[in-house]
Amino acid sequence: MEPGTDRDEGTEPTLDADFFIRWLDAAAAAVARDADRLTELDAAIGDADHGSNLNRGFAAVTRRLTEKPPNAPGAVLTGAGRTLISSVGGASGPLYGTLLRRAGKELGDAPRVSRVQLAEALRSGVGAVAELGGAGGGDKTMLDALQPAVEGLTRSFGAAATAAEEGALATVPLRARRGRAAYLGDRSIGHQDPGAASSALLIGALADTATRAADDDGHRGNGADRV
Amino acid sequence: MEPGTDRDEGTEPTLDADFFIRWLDAAAAAVARDADRLTELDAAIGDADHGSNLNRGFAAVTRRLTEKPPNAPGAVLTGAGRTLISSVGGASGPLYGTLLRRAGKELGDAPRVSRVQLAEALRSGVGAVAELGGAGGGDKTMLDALQPAVEGLTRSFGAAATAAEEGALATVPLRARRGRAAYLGDRSIGHQDPGAASSALLIGALADTATRAADDDGHRGNGADRV
Amino acid sequence: MKMLINVPERVVEDALRGMAAVHPELTVDVANRVVVRRDAPVANKVGLVSGGGSGHEPLHGGFVGPGMLDAACPGEVFTSPVPDQMVRAAAAVDSGEGVLFIVKNYTGDVLNFEMAAELAAEEGIRVETVTVSDDVALAAGEGSGRRGTGGTLFVERLAGAVAEAGAPLERVTEVARRVADSCRSFGVALAPCSTPARGGPTFDLPEGELELGIGIHGEPGRERRGMMTSGEIADATVDALVNDLRPDEPVLVLVNGMGATPLLELYGYASEVMRALGERSVVPARTLVGDYVTSLDMAGCSVTLCPVDEELLRLWETPVRTPALRWGA
Amino acid sequence: MKMLINVPERVVEDALRGMAAVHPELTVDVANRVVVRRDAPVANKVGLVSGGGSGHEPLHGGFVGPGMLDAACPGEVFTSPVPDQMVRAAAAVDSGEGVLFIVKNYTGDVLNFEMAAELAAEEGIRVETVTVSDDVALAAGEGSGRRGTGGTLFVERLAGAVAEAGAPLERVTEVARRVADSCRSFGVALAPCSTPARGGPTFDLPEGELELGIGIHGEPGRERRGMMTSGEIADATVDALVNDLRPDEPVLVLVNGMGATPLLELYGYASEVMRALGERSVVPARTLVGDYVTSLDMAGCSVTLCPVDEELLRLWETPVRTPALRWGA
Ligand SMILES: Nc1ncnc2c1ncn2[C@@H]1O[C@H](COP(=O)(O)OP(=O)(O)O)[C@@H](O)[C@H]1O
Ligand SMILES: Nc1ncnc2c1ncn2[C@@H]1O[C@H](COP(=O)(O)OP(=O)(O)O)[C@@H](O)[C@H]1O
Ligand SMILES: [Mg+2]
Ligand SMILES: [Mg+2]
Ligand SMILES: [Mg+2]
Ligand SMILES: [Mg+2]
């Protein structure tokens, strides 16, 4: 059973560093699995590298988290953000890196955070992405999945995943105004934005991790504790 | 009716400069028509240019013969040979050029020559080709069509054409020992030599011209006179 | 799509090992992906650093050496490098006179160099950045702005020449910016390229069609048309360039192959470009013909015009000694 | 197959007009197809003339200039030039010191240059001829003999260097012959080329297969194999070279792209070639990486080794100034 969907805030588990590590590992697995699909999407309106870019970056994140796992959610995210910046390159590297770094900084060194706190931290992160890249909603970028995801996350993990997925699909009819796809003008219409698709994967991994944590929680109380 | 096939030598028409010009024009037409086929043959075991090489050369020959038609068979052939040497390039340019120049020189400045005289002149030409290129019969070159053609021509125009055609086809199972096809070693086996194929075209054009001359001769005595 | 590689993941690393093996005049840090001229930092000289995704060779690594770049940072294929590379390069080439970053205008390159500039500044290195956005296939100022393509060669060369002469950072930046602002490029693809990661073409381009206004990353162009002759392509290209910027000075011309177009064809195309320029009263001062800013094995070509006054032309002529551009040395 | 051309029949003429337009340091006779260095005939200097079918650019026109060729005669695509061209070139470059013909060993080239040498001699020009037959894919002395490929670059450069230094015809010929006799090349194709006249590939090469021991005219190779890695290709290539001639001197190395192979891949291949040479105790003295002796848009590569003593290495280093090979000038 997913935390937050059928309980009130007060009884939803809080999230520790281990939860965040498992989230990013799940994200890495999802990216590895879907790398070819992301690259295909990028081939249509970009330069055919988004899948391999993120795969390289998240593999580095997983390595780093395994080697020295941080012990606070904030540190997990800032570390992962720095790793993405140092290993991805391209547009998505600094953007995803900034998303996670800024969110991590917002979380500070609290050992546990709530879903709502995470939502607020990600909201800051998404703001930083918008500022860095100069894009807004509807420009056919990762923001079109991330912005609704943050709103969803204030309600529940499941709502975040659904919103991200819908946001990603909603980029199909849009005309790109930022990033490489913008070079295509009207020819960008009719294709899903690869960054929005990968954002949906990351948020999907978050929701999956929360579901699994809640299930485990029912059995042996692993990682996510009641507040 | 073809001259020489059903008459004895004495009644066969002799060949004047005009006959030689019409032969080379017919050869040019045949080469133009079959250029793609020759190039395809060359693609299989050479460098895919034999058709365009000869086409360029014979077009130049036709132009030259139209501009200033020589008035002796020998001059027609030496001029055509020089033109081929100056316009074809490749292996076939010097070889065909030498064939015609040498044959032309043999014919000297006689205003008319017999078929047998032509056969002897071409025999010298073929010898010069063998000397220049260092090839012999069975090496899978133009010689495999030209040598039997000369023998055939001592009997009749038709026999020359048939022998050239058979000689060209007989190059298929051979392993090339000269020219570009030799680089392929055993992989040259199973393909017809493009130069042998073009030689068959040239000799075929000779026979056709003779046939047409004989026909015309029946009607209005054009070009080929009784000796 | 067959490639002369070991494994797709190691293409850039292998190429850098090759550069290290055959260019003793360069220091190639394969692990950290930085190519530096052997004698860096050169005393009293501004350091020039560029970089970008790989797949455009000889750009940028082939342009490292006296009279051009001090360092290049190659990213993965078609992926901008990461800030760590530029910071390392800046540290390696800074003699105390500061460093100029030359950046092609792609979101990825811009963002990564931006981060690098911040980090380098934190380490006490003076950094200026000049962005090249010369591709007239795109309207200026719209969306992501214009892409940086062939003009980069002229910026790197002319800024490199003035830096080699000992000019201060402000002056080198000014020259680079002037060149970046006045260069114009336009490219055409006859066949798409294939990236090692993808193993196949980045877009479909049927027989009998071409793409006008392509980028250098396998992006499709702005417009697809029926096949054109080399003369027609030259007219369309020169029109696009001259309509955007009618040069009143002589121009340096780059007739650039995208990778798979034979030099025989490229020289034929150059003759049509020269004709088209002449018909529009544009005066070529110097012309380069060859593969300089490529897109892997794409078939096609681009043309770049770089207006020059006497000073820039003089700078162009000064000695340059790099793997891919060399004269007077 | 799309090409950047006007019409197939005019490809060579168009390219020559392009060379004429962009290389003021050359005299390009488009109608007669001769490319001559502008200052020819150079007093007291032996003239060097080469030529062959077009489609191998920059060979030979791109190698005309001080320190290399005095003239080049381009034939039709993959078709040797005609004697008239070589005779004209010889007359244009002969200062009275005589002329050396550098000929790649193909029946067509050999025969046409032979006729030209006779005609030039009739005009009172002293002519020597050196034939390059460096391709170890073929057994020496069999059939048409070995083809001339990448080694031609070394013959043209080293003979050009000694001619530039004022050596007499005998000495220039001797150097050219020594180099021609000791060079070895081996080439591999990953994809065939397409000639303009044919408009499509000259042979079929299915996905997943390559050709070992190819020529530079779109001829298929001696052996077809399943696809190999760049390291495996380097081993096969260096084995073929070293088994034929184990060099006891250092070697000049040419890692040559056939036309469509990206420079990124070629540098990666160069690193494998360097490894393979090292493992077989062959010492590279200098290495060139790039497209020098190409085969239109063929994908693939060749390697040429040219053993050098100190004298040849010194000649190699002297200034050369041609469109495609330039240093020290
Ligand atoms: N200015 C921007 N703001 C937000 N997202 C952007 C921006 N530019 C690009 N993106 C995102 O990055 C994705 C492309 O990432 P990627 O392919 O890894 O980088 P690159 O475009 O450099 O190859 C796009 O699909 C888009 O979602
Ligand atoms: N040494 C030779 N002797 C006789 N004929 C030869 C010789 N070498 C080549 N040929 C002929 O020339 C033909 C090829 O001509 P062509 O394709 O025009 O020239 P190239 O081989 O230079 O491209 C071959 O098919 C062969 O018949
Ligand atoms: Mg991308
Ligand atoms: Mg041929
Ligand atoms: Mg990219
Ligand atoms: Mg040929």
Nearest CA in chain B to D143: B177
The pLDDT of residue C200: 83
CATH topology of domain A5-219: 1.25.40
Return mean pLDDT, chain D: 96
Distance separating alpha carbons of residues C213 and A23, to the nearest angstrom: 42
Indicate the pTM of the whole model: 0.94
Nearest residue to B160 via CA among B133, B199, B124: B199
CA dist D177 and D173 (Å) reads 6
Confidence of residue A214 (pLDDT cuts 50, 70, 90): confident
> Which among B14, B214, B215 is positioned nearest to B111, based on CA atoms?
B14
- Amino acid A223: pLDDT: 47
Query: Is the Cβ atom of B46 under 6 angstroms away from ligand 2?
Result: yes
What is residue D204's predicted lDDT score, i.e. its pLDDT?
82
CA within 13 Å, CB half, D249: 16
Return the sign of the alpha-carbon dihedral for residues B138, B142, B144, B150. negative
Neighbours of D36 (CB within 10 A): 23
Cβ B183–D79 below 8 Å, yes or no? no
Distance C80 CA to ligand 1 centre (A): 11
What confidence tens digit (pLDDT) does each residue in A55-91 have? 999 999 999 999 999 999 999 999 999 999 999 999 9
pLDDT interval class at A222 (50, 70, 90): very low
Which residue among C104, C106, C107 is best mutated to probe the pocket of ligand 1, counting the most ligand atoms within 8 A of its Cβ? C107
C touches which chains (3+ CB pairs under 8 A)? A, D
Give every CB contact of residue A171 below 8 A, 6+ residues apart in sequence. Answer: A140, A141, A144, A145, A192, A193, A196
The whole-number pLDDT of residue A225 equals 45
Ligand 2 contact via B99 beta carbon (within 6 Å): no
Q: Which residue of A has its CA nearest to C217?
A: A47
Using a CB-CB cut-off of 8 Å, the residues of chain C touching D76 are none
ipTM of the complex: 0.92
Three-state helix/strand/coil letters over chain B? CCCCCCCCHHHCEEEEHHHHHHHHHHHHHHHHHHHHHHHHHHHHHCCCCHHHHHHHHHHHHHHHHHHCCCCCHHHHHHHHHHHHHHHCCCCHHHHHHHHHHHHHHHHCCCCEECHHHHHHHHHHHHHHHHHHHCCCCCCCCCHHHHHHHHHHHHHCHHHHHHHHHHHHHCCCCCCCCCCHHHHHHHHHCCCCCHHHHHHHHHHHHHHHHHHHHHHHHHHHCCCCEEC
- Mean pLDDT estimate for chain C: 96
Instruction: Give the model's confidence band at D278: pLDDT under 50 very low, under 70 low, under 90 confident, else very high.
Output: very high
Q: Would you state the pLDDT for residue B222?
A: 47
Q: Which residues in chain C are classed under CATH 3.40.50.10440?
A: 12-181
* Count of beta carbons in the 10 Å neighbourhood of residue A68: 8
Q: Tens digits of per-residue pLDDT, B24-51?
A: 999 999 999 999 999 999 989 988 899 9
DSSP notation for C28-83: EETTTTEEEETTPSPTT--EEEEEEEESSTTTTGGGBSTTSBSEEEEEEETSPPPH
Give the residue with greater pLDDT, C251 vs B225: C251
Residue with token string 């320190």: D67
What distance in Å separates the CA atoms of residue C113 and residue C102, rounded to the nearest whole number? 9
Neighbours of B119 (CB within 10 A): 21
Assign A220 a pLDDT band (cuts: 50, 70, 90).
low
CB D211 within 8 A of CB D196: no
Give me the percent of chain B exceeding a pLDDT of 90: 82
3-state SS, one letter per residue, for chain D: CCCCCCCHHHHHHHHHHHHHHHCCCEEEECCCCEEEECCCCCCCCCEEEEEEEECCCCCCHHHECCCCECEEEEEEECCCCCHHHHHHHHHHHCCCCCEEEEEECCHHHHHHHHHHHHHHHHCCCCEEEEEECCECCCCCCCCCCCCCCCHHHHHHHHHHHHHHCCCCHHHHHHHHHHHHHHCEEEEEEEECCECCCCCCECCCCCCCEEEECCCCCCCCCCEEEECCCHHHHHHHHHHHHHHHCCCCCCEEEEEEECECCCHHHHHHHHHHHHHHHHHCCCCEEEEEEECCCCCCCEEEEEEEEEECCHHHHHHHHCCEECCCCEECC
Contacts with D21 from chain C: Cβ below 8 Å: 270-271, 274, 287
Q: Does the distance separating the beta carbons of D108 and B94 come in below 8 Å?
A: yes
Contact between D77 and C264 using a beta-carbon 8 Å cutoff: yes
What digits encode the pLDDT tens for the residues C156-210? 999 999 999 999 999 999 999 999 999 999 999 999 999 998 888 877 888 899 9
Q: Convert the pLDDT of each residue in D167-205 to its tens digit.
A: 999 999 999 999 999 999 999 999 999 999 888 887 788
Higher pLDDT, C12 or A4: C12
Interchain CB contact of C195 with A (< 8 Å): yes
In chain C, the percentage of residues whose pLDDT exceeds 90 is 91
pLDDT tens-digit profile of B142-161?
999 999 999 999 999 999 99
C145 within 8 A of C138, measured Cβ to Cβ: yes
The whole-number average pLDDT for the span C296-308 is 97
What whole-number distance in Å separates Cα of residue C114 and Cα of residue A224? 38
Residue B218's pLDDT band, with cuts at 50, 70 and 90, is: low
Name the pLDDT band for C299 (thresholds 50, 70, 90): very high
At A123 the pLDDT is 98
pLDDT tens digits for C284-295?
999 999 999 999
pLDDT at A1 over 80: no
CB contact (8 A) between residue B43 and residue D217: no
Q: Answer with the residue of higher pLDDT: B6 or B81.
A: B81
Residues of A in contact with C220 (CB under 8 A): 184, 187
With a cut of 70, say whether residue A45 has pLDDT above it.
yes
Give catalytic residues of C, as residue numbers. 56, 217
The answer to whether D60 is a known catalytic residue is no
Ligand positioned closest to the Cα atom of B48 = 4
Token pair, residue B181, equals 């096809």
D184-314 is classed in which CATH architecture? 2-Layer Sandwich (3.30)
Provide mean pLDDT across the span D110-120.
97
Residue whose token pair is 């094995």: C297
- The 3-state DSSP class for residue C260 equals coil
Touching pair A, D by Cβ (3+ pairs < 8 Å): no
- For chain A, list residues whose CB is within 8 angstroms of any CB belonging to chain C: 39, 43-49, 51-53, 56, 85-95, 132-133, 176-180, 182-185, 187
Q: Where, residue-wise, is CATH 3.30.1180.20 in chain D?
A: 184-314
Q: What is the CA radius of gyration of chain B?
A: 17
Q: What is the pLDDT of residue B226?
A: 38
Q: How many CB atoms lie within 10 A of CB B203?
A: 29
Top mutation candidate among A178, A183, A198 for ligand 1, by most atoms within 8 Å of CB: A178
Q: Is the CB of A133 under 6 A from ligand 1?
A: yes
A183–C215: do the CB atoms touch at under 8 Å?
yes
**Amino acid at position A13, single letter:** P
The closest alpha carbon to D272, from C28, C53, C4, C62, belongs to C4
Q: In the prediction, which pLDDT does C52 show?
A: 98
Distance from CA of D112 to the nearest CA of B (A): 6
Q: Which of B31, B36, B95 to mutate to test the pocket of ligand 2 (most atoms within 8 A of CB)?
A: B95
- Give me the pLDDT at residue A58, please: 98
Structure tokens at B169: 């086809």
The CA distance from A199 to A188, in Å, is: 19
Q: CATH second-level architecture of D12-181?
A: 3-Layer(aba) Sandwich (3.40)
pLDDT at C217: 85
Neighbours of A37 (CB within 10 A): 16
**What b-and-e string marks burial along C111-145, b requiring 16 or more CB atoms within 10 Å of the CB?**
bbbbbbbebbeeeebbbbbbbbbbbbbbeeeebbb
3-class secondary structure, C190: strand
Task: For A172-212, write each residue's pLDDT tens digit.
Answer: 999 999 998 988 888 899 999 999 999 999 999 999 999 99
User: CB-side exposure of A34: number of CA atoms within 13 Å?
Assistant: 22
Q: Return mean pLDDT, chain A.
A: 91
Percent of chain A clearing pLDDT 70 (strictly above)? 90
Least confident window among B177-191, C239-253, D270-284: B177-191
Looking at residues D292-298, what average pLDDT do you find? 97
CA gap D258, D276 in Å, rounded: 20
The three-point CA angle B64-B66-B69 to 5° equals 85
Instruction: Kindly report, residue by residue over C113-169, the tens digit of the pLDDT.
Output: 999 999 999 999 999 999 999 999 988 777 788 999 999 999 999 999 999 999 999
* Residue D107 distance to chain C (closest CA, Å): 23
Note the Cα A40 to chain centre separation in Å: 20
